[in-house]
C-alpha cells in the first residue's frame, strides 16, 4: 500500500500543473481558517441587500421557465404542422429554451429578470417568432406587459410571466437533445441576428467553464456586482461596466488565484485591477480563429479597436469587446474606485473595518462644485418611458462632448435618474433628471476664464433628435433641457437628504458618507440602482447672472484664447437674492428643445426652426484658437465651440503591449504554454474612434417637423 501511494505521488509530480487563462496563476495558496471566517462575514454583509433568493422564489423561476419551454415546444409543433411536415417529424421536432446572463451564472438577485434564448429548428422563421409566437403569448393570462422589439440590434420579445420579467431572444438551429452551445461549428450558415442572439448563452457558458471553482466565483461576483452598484459604476449604457464585464473581471481574478475563497478573491480583485495598465486587454482564454469569417475584436486588423480604452474581451467566438462604451472619464472614475476598494479591503482583512464599509455609497452630490442637470420630459407616461430610454442611451455622447472641452478634466454621470419636481414642470408632464458632475482644470496665472458649453450640449441634443426621427419615435411634448448648476443649488432639484453634508465623528472622518443613498432599484431588480418612481420635488432658483465681460490673464496654457467681444454670463459665488427669493425662470442657462412650452428668455436665446437653420456658433473677431496639448489620458481637447467642419485630430503614437496586463503574471513553466498574442493599442479617448455604426449617419437631417427648436447658450466664468 505504501508503494502504491509513493507511485501515485510520483505520477502527480510528473504531470504538468493545470492553469486557467492565458497565464499561470499568481498564487496557488489554499485558504486559511481566517479566510473562511472573513468569507462568512462577507456573506452576512451582502445578504441584507437582497442578493440571494429564497427557495420559494427559485422554485417559482424554475416553474415559469418550465411553462415557457412547454409554450415553445407547442408553438414549434403547431408551426411545423402548418408547414405540412409529416406527423413523425412533428412529434420529434424539438425546441428548447436556454438561459444566460446573471440567472445562468447563478448570481441573480431578488426580483431580477431572466435573459433567455428560444432555439427553434431551421424551418421556423424569425417572422414566425415575432408573429405567431407573439400572438400565442398574448392569449395567456399569465403574460403581462408584452412587447416586441424586432428592429433592435439583438431582436427581442419582452414580457412578464407570472410576475417575472423575461427577455426572450430567438435563434434557428438544428437542435439535438444534448445540444452544447459552446461549439463554434453551430454558427455555420447562421444569419448575423442568430449569431448575436446565441452570443449571450455562449459567453455565459464559456465563463463558467473557464473558472476553477464555480461557487467561489459566484459569491465573489455577487459581492463585486453589489459593490459596483452601490458605488454608482454599474451601467454599460452610460459608459461604466455591465454585468458580463464584471463577471469576466471576477473570472480573471479566479484564474489567477484558483484556490482562494471569496473574501480573498474580493481583495485580490481590487489588487489586480487597481494595478492593471489599461488599455491592455483582459482575456480569459487565447482568442481562436474558427475560420467562419465573422468580425472579431483584433486591433492588429481593425483600426477602430485600437482606440478602446478598457478592453474586456468575451471568451466565445466571435470575440468582442464588452466595454465599447467606456470613456476617458468613466475609466478614470472606475480606476479610482478600484484603488479605494483595495484600501478598504486591506483594512477589512487587517481587522480595522467591517465588510459594510466596502458597500457604503459615495455622496456624489458633495463631490463636485459644478453639475449639468439633464432633464427629459414627455406628455404621457408611455412616451416618457420610450423617450428616457433613448436619452439615457445617448448620455455617453454628451459625456464625450464635455470631455473634449479643454477646461473640463472629468465628466461624471450618476447612473441613477431622479423624478423631476412638479413645481418646476407642468403637472401633466412626466420628467426624469440625470446629474453630471464636472471637474474643471485648475487655472494658473489668470483671474477668470470664459467657458462655453453651448456646442457640447447642442451636438448631443442633435444626436438624440436625429436618432428619434430615424426610428419614428419623436412625438410632440418630448423635450430635453440641460442646465448648469452649482453644488449649493442642488437642493432646488433634489431631496435634502441627498445633498446635505452630514457631520462626521472623528471615527468617520476617513470613511465615505453613507448618507447620500436613497432606496433605489437596480438594473436587475434589486434595491440598488436607478429608480424612476415619482417623487415630491422641490422648487429651484436660478444662479445669479451678471452681464459683464471677463478678460482672462494669459498663461502658457491659454495664451491663444481670446474671449469673445460680446458680454458673457458670469456666475457669482457670493450669496445673492436669487438664493433666498422665490424661484425665478433661469435665463441663458438651459437649453429647452423640441416642443417646449416654455417661453425663451429674451436676449439669451438662439431660436432656430428645424430644417431651416444651421447650428449656431460662437463667433469672435479674434483668430481661431489653436489646440492645447493633450490631457494625460490622451484625449484631444477643444478650446472652443468648433464649427462642424473642424474634424477631431487623431493621435499617431502607437504603443505595443504583449502581456495580458501590466500586473506582472508569470507565464506557465511548462513548454506547452503559449504567450498571449501581441495586441497593438493606442491609449486615447473614445472621441477618436472611427465612426460608430450604432449611431445614425451624421449627415442625417435633424427632424424636419413643425416642432420648434429653441437653443440657448450655456456659458460660465471660472475664477481662480
Give the tens place of pLDDT for each residue, 681-702.
444 443 333 333 333 333 344 4
| Last residue within a domain, chosen from 362, 377, 396 | 362
Residues 322 and 225 both lie in one domain: yes
Q: Hey, which residues are catalytic here?
A: 102, 113, 115, 167, 225, 234
pLDDT per residue over 48-59, tens digit each? 999 998 889 999
Q: What is the pLDDT, as a whole number, of residue 21?
A: 84
Q: What is the pLDDT, as a whole number, of residue 687?
A: 38
Residue 606's pLDDT band, with cuts at 50, 70 and 90, is: very low
More confident residue, 642 or 180: 180
What single-letter DSSP state applies at residue 405?
B
Residues 198 and 67 both lie in one domain: yes
Work out the average pLDDT over 407-432. Answer: 84
Residues 325 and 250 both lie in one domain: yes
Is 651 part of any domain?
no
Instruction: Report residue 446 CA to chain centroid gap.
Output: 37
Work out the average pLDDT over 338-351. Answer: 97
| Last residue within a domain, chosen from 208, 227, 255 | 208
Q: Answer yes or no: is pLDDT of 614 > 70.
A: no
Q: Return the closest-CA partner of residue 187 out of 73, 291, 297.
A: 291
Residue 637's pLDDT band, with cuts at 50, 70 and 90, is: low
Q: Where are the alpha helices (DSSP H) in 471-610?
A: 496-499
Burial 496-518 (b: 16+ CB within 10 A, else e): eebbbeeeeeeeeeeebebbbbe
- Residue 609 CB-half CA count within 13 A: 3
Q: For residue 344, what is the domain's CATH number?
A: 1.10.1410.10
Work out the average pLDDT over 138-160. Answer: 88
Residues 124 and 74 both lie in one domain: yes
Cell of 623: 483668430
Is 354 part of any domain?
yes
d(CA 529, CA 520): 5
Q: What is the pLDDT, as a whole number, of residue 633?
A: 43
Q: What is the pLDDT, as a whole number, of residue 221?
A: 97
d(CA 166, CA 60): 13
Lowest average pLDDT, out of 196-210, 363-377, 615-629, 632-646, goes to: 615-629
Domain that holds residue 157: 53-208
Task: Label each residue of 574-591 as H, E or C.
Answer: CCCHHHCCCCCCCCCCCC
Is 405 part of any domain?
yes
Work out the average pLDDT over 470-474. Answer: 86
Residue 83's pLDDT band, with cuts at 50, 70 and 90, is: confident
Average pLDDT, the chain: 73
Residues 70 and 114 both lie in one domain: yes
Q: What is the pLDDT, as a whole number, of residue 177?
A: 59
| Last residue within a domain, chosen from 362, 396, 412 | 362
Overall domain count for the chain = 3
Residues 414 and 480 both lie in one domain: yes
Is 412 part of any domain?
yes
Strand partners, 479: 377
Q: What is the pLDDT, as a whole number, of residue 713?
A: 60
More confident residue, 706 or 415: 415
Residues 88 and 146 both lie in one domain: yes
d(CA 106, CA 108): 6
More confident residue, 143 or 548: 143
Q: What is the share, in percent, of the chain residues with pLDDT greater than 90?
A: 42
Is 524 part of any domain?
no
Residues 252 and 182 both lie in one domain: no
- Residue 15 CB-half CA count within 13 A: 9
Q: Answer yes or no: is pLDDT of 138 > 80.
A: yes
More confident residue, 593 or 491: 491
Q: What is the pLDDT, as a whole number, of residue 349?
A: 96
Q: Answer yes or no: is pLDDT of 31 > 90.
A: yes
Residues 6+ positions from 509 with CB-CB distance below 8 Å: none
Cell of 464: 438624440
d(CA 152, CA 383): 18
Q: For residue 136, what is the domain's CATH number?
A: 3.30.460.10
Lowest average pLDDT, out of 449-458, 560-569, 647-656, goes to: 560-569
Q: For residue 417, what is the domain's CATH number?
A: 3.30.70.590
Residue 377's pLDDT band, with cuts at 50, 70 and 90, is: very high
Residues 6+ positions from 465 with CB-CB distance below 8 Å: 474, 593, 594, 702, 703, 709
Lowest average pLDDT, out of 255-269, 315-329, 702-716, goes to: 702-716
Residues 218 and 346 both lie in one domain: yes
Residues 352 and 411 both lie in one domain: no
Q: What is the pLDDT, as a whole number, of residue 612?
A: 28
More confident residue, 153 or 650: 153
Is 13 part of any domain?
no
- Residue 87 CB-half CA count within 13 A: 0
Residues 201 and 181 both lie in one domain: yes
Q: Answer yes or no: is pLDDT of 590 > 50.
A: no
At residue 143, what are phi and psi to the nearest 5 degrees? -90, 125
Q: What is the share, in percent, of the chain residues with pLDDT greater than 70?
A: 64
pLDDT per residue over 258-288, tens digit each? 999 999 999 999 999 999 999 999 999 988 8
Residues 248 and 331 both lie in one domain: yes
Is 508 part of any domain?
no
For the beta carbon of residue 91, count every other beta carbon within 10 angstroms.
Answer: 11
pLDDT per residue over 444-454, tens digit each? 766 678 888 88
Q: What is the pLDDT, as a whole number, of residue 540?
A: 29
Q: Do 404 and 422 contact (CB within 8 A), yes or no? A: no
Is 217 part of any domain?
yes
Q: Rounded to the nearest 10 degrees, what angle do helices 214-230 and 33-46 cross at?
A: 50
Amino acid at each position: 500500500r505504501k508503494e502504491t501511494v509513493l507511485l501515485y505521488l510520483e505520477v502527480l509530480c510528473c504531470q504538468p500543473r493545470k492553469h486557467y487563462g492565458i497565464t499561470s496563476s499568481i498564487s496557488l495558496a489554499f485558504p486559511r481558517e481566517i479566510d473562511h471566517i472573513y468569507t462568512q462575514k462577507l456573506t452576512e454583509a451582502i445578504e441584507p441587500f437582497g442578493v440571494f433568493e429564497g427557495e420559494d422564489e427559485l422554485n417559482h423561476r424554475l416553474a415559469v421557465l418550465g411553462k415557457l419551454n412547454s409554450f415553445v415546444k407547442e408553438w414549434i409543433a403547431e408551426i411545423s404542422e402548418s408547414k405540412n411536415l409529416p406527423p413523425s417529424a412533428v412529434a420529434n421536432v424539438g425546441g428548447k429554451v436556454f438561459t444566460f446572463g446573471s440567472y445562468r451564472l447563478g448570481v441573480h438577485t431578488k426580483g431580477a429578470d431572466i435573459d433567455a434564448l428560444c432555439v427553434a429548428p431551421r424551418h421556423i422563421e424569425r417572422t414566425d417568432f415575432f408573429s405567431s409566437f407573439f400572438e400565442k403569448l398574448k392569449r395567456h393570462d399569465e403574460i403581462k406587459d408584452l412587447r416586441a422589439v424586432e428592429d433592435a440590434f439583438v431582436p427581442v420579445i419582452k414580457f412578464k410571466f407570472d410576475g417575472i420579467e423575461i427577455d426572450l431572444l430567438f435563434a434557428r438551429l438544428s437542435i439535438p437533445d444534448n445540444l452544447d452551445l459552446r461549439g463554434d461549428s453551430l454558427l455555420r450558415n447562421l444569419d448575423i441576428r442568430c449569431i448575436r442572439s446565441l452570443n449571450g448563452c455562449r459567453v455565459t457558458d464559456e465563463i463558467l467553464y473557464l473558472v476553477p471553482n464555480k461557487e467561489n466565483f459566484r459569491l465573489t461576483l455577487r459581492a463585486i456586482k453589489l459593490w459596483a452598484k452601490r458605488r454608482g459604476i454599474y451601467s454599460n449604457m452610460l459608459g461604466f461596466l455591465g454585468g458580463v464585464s464584471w463577471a469576466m473581471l471576477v473570472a480573471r481574478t479566479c484564474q489567477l488565484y484558483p484556490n482562494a475563497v471569496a473574501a480573498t478573491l474580493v481583495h485580490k480583485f481590487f489588487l489586480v485591477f487597481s494595478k492593471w495598465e489599461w488599455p491592455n486587454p483582459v482575456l480569459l482564454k487565447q482568442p481562436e480563429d474558427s475560420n467562419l469569417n465573422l468580425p472579431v475584436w483584433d486591433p492588429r486588423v481593425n483600426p477602430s479597436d485600437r482606440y478602446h480604452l478598457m478592453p474586456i474581451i468575451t471568451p466565445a467566438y466571435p470575440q468582442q469587446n464588452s466595454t465599447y462604451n467606456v470613456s476617458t472619464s468613466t475609466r478614470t472614475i472606475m480606476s479610482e474606485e478600484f484603488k479605494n476598494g483595495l484600501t478598504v479591503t486591506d483594512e477589512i482583512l487587517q481587522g480595522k473595518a467591517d465588510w459594510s464599509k466596502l458597500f457604503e455609497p459615495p455622496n456624489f452630490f458633495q463631490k463636485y462644485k459644478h453639475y449639468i442637470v439633464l432633464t427629459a420630459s414627455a406628455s404621457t407616461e408611455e412616451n416618457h418611458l420610450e423617450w428616457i430610454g433613448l436619452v439615457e442611451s445617448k448620455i455617453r455622447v454628451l459625456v464625450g462632448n464635455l470631455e473634449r472641452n479643454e477646461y473640463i478634466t472629468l465628466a461624471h454621470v450618476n447612473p441613477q435618474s431622479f423624478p423631476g419636481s412638479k413645481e418646476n414642470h407642468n403637472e401633466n408632464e412626466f420628467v426624469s433628471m440625470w446629474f453630471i458632475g464636472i471637474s474643471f482644470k485648475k487655472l494658473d496665472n489668470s483671474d477668470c476664464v470664459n467657458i462655453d458649453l453651448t456646442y457640447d450640449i447642442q451636438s448631443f441634443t442633435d444626436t438624440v433628435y436625429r436618432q428619434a426621427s430615424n426610428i419614428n419615435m419623436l412625438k410632440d411634448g418630448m423635450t430635453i433641457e440641460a442646465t448648469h448648476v452649482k453644488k449649493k443649488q442642488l437642493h432646488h432639484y433634489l431631496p435634502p437628504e441627498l445633498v446635505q453634508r452630514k457631520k462626521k465623528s472623528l471615527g468617520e472622518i476617513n470613511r465615505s458618507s453613507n448618507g447620500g443613498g436613497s432606496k433605489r432599484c437596480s438594473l436587475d431588480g434589486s434595491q440598488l440602482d436607478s429608480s424612476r418612481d415619482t417623487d415630491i420635488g422641490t422648487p429651484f432658483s436660478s444662479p445669479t447672472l451678471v452681464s459683464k465681460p471677463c478678460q482672462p490673464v494669459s498663461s502658457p496654457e491659454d495664451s491663444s484664447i481670446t474671449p469673445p467681444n460680446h458680454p458673457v454670463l458670469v456666475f457669482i459665488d457670493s450669496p445673492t437674492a436669487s438664493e433666498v427669493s422665490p424661484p425665478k425662470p433661469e435665463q441663458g442657462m438651459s437649453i429647452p428643445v423640441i416642443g417646449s412650452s416654455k417661453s425663451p428668455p429674451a436676449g439669451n436665446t438662439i431660436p432656430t426652426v428645424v430644417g431651416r437653420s444651421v447650428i449656431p456658433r460662437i463667433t469672435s473677431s479674434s483668430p481661431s484658437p489653436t489646440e492645447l496639448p493633450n490631457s494625460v489620458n490622451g484625449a484631444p481637447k477643444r478650446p472652443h465651440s468648433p464649427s462642424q467642419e473642424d474634424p477631431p485630430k487623431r493621435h499617431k503614437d502607437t504603443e505595443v503591449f504583449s502581456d495580458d496586463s501590466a500586473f506582472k503574471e508569470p507565464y506557465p513553466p511548462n513548454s506547452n504554454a503559449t504567450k498571449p498574442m501581441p495586441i497593438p493599442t493606442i491609449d486615447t479617448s473614445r472621441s477618436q474612434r472611427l465612426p460608430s455604426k450604432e449611431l445614425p449617419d451624421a449627415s442625417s437631417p435633424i427632424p424636419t417637423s413643425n416642432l420648434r427648436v429653441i437653443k440657448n447658450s450655456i456659458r460660465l466664468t471660472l475664477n481662480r
